[in-house]
Amino acid sequence: MKKNETNDPKGLPDKHFSGFNKDHKQLLTAILFFLLIFFYMFLREFLTNVIALPAVPGGVYGKMLPPVLFALIYLAYTRGFQSAVFLALFLWVYCWAAEELSVHTGFPFGHYYYSDQLGYKLDVVPIMIGFNYMWVLVFPAFYISNLLAQGTFLEMGKGIKGLLFTAFVASIVTSGIDMVLDPMDATKMSEWVWTKNAYTGYYGIPYMNYLGYIIVMTPAFFIFGLIQRKFNAKPMGPVNLWIASIPLFFYFLIFLMYGAPAPSGVFLVGCFTMVFPLILSIDKLLKHFSTE
């Protein structure tokens, strides 16, 4: 088996590998294109009190499409087309069902309802909520948790125990991201509204919400890990240090986009729940590529 065909991340083409063909370059161009649009969206939000930049057209769906396509194409490049499409479709159904259950019953996230700001609903939950999960929670948490739990960029663990442990770490990372997102999206922008919950000491958000992410997302990441094995997931092209750093940069942009304008204190919380894991991940990533 050639070095760049193995499923073991240690067999990824190293940082000096230069074998990018035309297809690889086209995929990477698409990744950078949608990342740049997202970066523009970040700058627009970040500089809102300084300069009024034009909005991305399309309303809520126009704002969602660039990061979703960025995440989908990047996942396809690093995990294969089948794995990426499976994750998108799986989250579309799975996350909608989890949210639907919680809105109706209060489990697993607590009691709340969605406003109309996230687009059309299927019953009481926005129909595109799973894609929102994909770009802002699952995509960055996947790569961060792999580095934290396994010390590698793509491998979720060898054996069921390793896979389950990484999935658990990924769910904690997801919950940490939401500690920065929720005060902005729910408390400040009212994209969803919390109601009749006990123990709502964090900006009106029930503590159950963060336990709910661990309950819901641990099996989701575990299933994704199993599917990657089923599809023998591997990169479609060379992955050097710069390409591997893209999800970490995206994760940091999410922190700044949501943490900086959030209610007072959220930025500091995010330094512990997002920036600290990011620092550890950068260290793991540098060590991973330095030993190839």
State the pLDDT at residue 271: 97
pLDDT band at 17 (very low <50, low <70, confident <90, very high): very low
- Mean pLDDT value across residues 35-57: 90
State the pLDDT at residue 10: 43
State the pLDDT at residue 109: 96
State the pLDDT at residue 8: 41
pLDDT band at 18 (very low <50, low <70, confident <90, very high): low
- pLDDT tens-place string over residues 136-191: 999 999 999 999 999 998 999 989 999 999 999 999 999 999 999 999 988 888 89
- pLDDT tens-place string over residues 52-78: 889 999 989 999 999 999 999 999 999
Tokens representing 146 are 């792999």
Which is more confident, 23 or 134?
Answer: 134
State the pLDDT at residue 237: 93
Are 41 and 2 in contact, with CB atoms under 8 Å apart?
Answer: no
State the pLDDT at residue 50: 85
Are 271 and 52 in contact, with CB atoms under 8 Å apart?
Answer: no
pLDDT band at 292 (very low <50, low <70, confident <90, very high): low
Low-confidence winner among 25-39, 104-118, 193-207, 270-284 (lowest mean pLDDT): 193-207
State the pLDDT at residue 207: 93
Task: Inform me whether the pLDDT recorded for 88 exceeds 90.
Answer: yes
Task: Inform me whether the pLDDT recorded for 220 exceeds 50.
Answer: yes
Q: Considering the chain, what percentage of its residues have pLDDT values greater than 90? A: 80
3-state secondary structure of 75: helix
Residues forming a β-bridge with 276: none
DSSP 202: B
Q: Considering the chain, what percentage of its residues have pLDDT values greater than 70? A: 93
Residues ≥6 apart with Cβ < 8 Å to 6: 234
State the pLDDT at residue 46: 85
CA distance 198 to 290: 49
Helix (H) or strand (E) holding 194: strand 192-194
With the CA atoms of 62, 63, 68 and 73 taken in that order, what torsion angle do they form, in degrees rounded to the nearest 10? 70
Residues forming a β-bridge with 112: 194
Residues forming a β-bridge with 122: 125
State the pLDDT at residue 49: 81
Q: Cis link prior to 108 (omega < 30° from 0)?
A: yes
Task: Inform me whether the pLDDT recorded for 204 exceeds 70.
Answer: yes
